[in-house]
Structure 1
Amino acid sequence: MKGIFKQKPKSPAELVRQTRELFVYVDVPSNSRDPKREDKMAELSRLLRELKSILYGTSDMEPVPEACAQLTQEFFKGNTLRLLIVCLPKLNLEARKDATQVVANLQRQQVNSRLIASEYLEANKDLLDHLITGFQDMDIALHYGAMLRDCIRHQSIARYVLESDSMKKFFDYIQLPNFDIASDAFASFKELMTRHKSTVADFLSQNYDWFFLEFNSKLLESGNYMTRRQAIKLLGDILMERSNSGVMVRYVSSKDHMRIMMNLLRESSKNIQMEAFHVFKLFVNNQNKPPEIISILVANKSKLIRLFTALKTDKDDETFEEDKSLVMKEIERLESNDRP
């Protein structure tokens, strides 16, 4: 009679509880003689894969909302997210990938119209600092970076990261020698600076001086081409966002900032030149240009006109040509008696 009756499938909540119990074996050293460890780690990997299947569905079945809600409630009720994040470095690569996808999906799950993930993270903000510090570890940086970007979908969590001491670390992580990690750090930084408009506007208004000092010196004036290219594009996106209008006026009133743009306009890279132009035009089109800005524009009038005359896009772009024409006309209009 043995084997006739199939074992009753475990509920999503039971699977989460079983996963949580297995995390105790993660802290057992990998060279331990404990014969159970290897089997338990394999079981943990299998369970993470099963949790992912419940949340995302399979090729044969769509995810079941009731099962997803049950899984989500148990996951956050039992502190499983903390265990998963802290123990991630000790999991194998496939388990890390599955764990990263589970965390991503949980950020979107609503239970009775509540985003439980957001509530949990607000009560456990130290986990965000843990994720950011993960950029220092080559093995887990990309997994932690992906988790971080999903967590900052929640506005309150993004606000915490922006206002935390960890925010300043991004300027160093973006310059890491490992290209993939540096790019991932920049992707997280860009998400922070563009997703939640009102929160970003408040942050920039309150942290203007140190933020742009770091942004200019470490990113726009970086010795790395890709860093400069990504940074000048992001700067344009930030300054041209309507909610950042006050920050934009302040930025384009600085002669030091304009000199940085003029240096980027002279780059050999067409991509950097084009992005620098889109920022530089804000200085020129400012209706209340400070005297020192006017003075620099007048002194460099002929050089700027030659530069913009030669600056062309690879494809016909009427908007760019119109913008360029207006900028050139405004520069030509300025006379020496406009100087202070």
Structure 2
Amino acid sequence: MRILLTGVTGQLGHTLQPILSQHHEVIAPTRAQLDLSDAAAIAAFVADCKPDLIINPAAYTAVDKAETEVELAQAINAIAPGVFAEQAKKLGIGLIHYSTDYVYDGSLRDDNGKLPSYTEDAPTNPVNVYGKTKLAGEQAIIASGCKYLIFRTSWVYSTFGKNFLLTMLRLANERDELRVVNDQWGAPTSANAIADISAAIVAQLNSAEDAATWWTSHQGTYHLTTKGRTSWCGFTQEIMRQASAAGRLQKAAPTVTGIPATEYPTPAQRPVNSCLDTSLLATTFHVHIPEWEAALAHVLGKIA
């Protein structure tokens, strides 16, 4: 299969490229080769390379900067996915696109005040520019009429780029105490877990006797995260526990102290509840979804 893969300088695209390249021809343009803020350039690039499938993990992910760089976030997160979808529709191919827990406002509670996981049909209501532009991208894809899979994920980290895991590991060697938000909840999800699950789904598509029938029965929006939930503070505590046990810290692990989000103000509001229900993904594609702690151990094992 000939796959157009975007965002190869980002965490997920960088992780997906070598995995997909084992079994497929992957066209993976860099930012210099394809400007995702240029709709005409996107259309021309897709028409020129004529892929069998488009996979779009590329996104404007600077959540706080998006509050002031609204036009750029809109171009990459909302307009670009719509252009990819329109081109996919013209070519009669499918589009796999990645979205976010931030399409929700995080206020979901049950009758006991606890935080249930969001299902795919829960009402969306993003509370920041990043979430609003990502939701607009989802809506543009659906409106195009193309064959699509939209995967919403959360709290993505990897061995590559700028992310929470690498930041905490760096700070662990610089500080004796880490003060981390303990009242926002979600599933830390490694780019490796997302890539492995995505590759398994692409393999299912590739081996389908009738691709059109496969798309008819599988098309839709799914939640793709690891299993379980924790707070940012809990995530940090587990990072320190595993890293210390594996001898990956240069000194004794720092104390991790939980703080309310009000003590760590940011330009963009974050959802309190980012927990996503992955049961639809599991039952539809029969893929293995790892526990978040196991996924973390896998990633830590890859860090030199």
TM over 0.5, shorter chain:
no
* TM value normalised by structure 1: 0.23
The structure that is strand-richer by fraction is: 2
Higher relative contact order (CA 8 A, sep 6+): 2
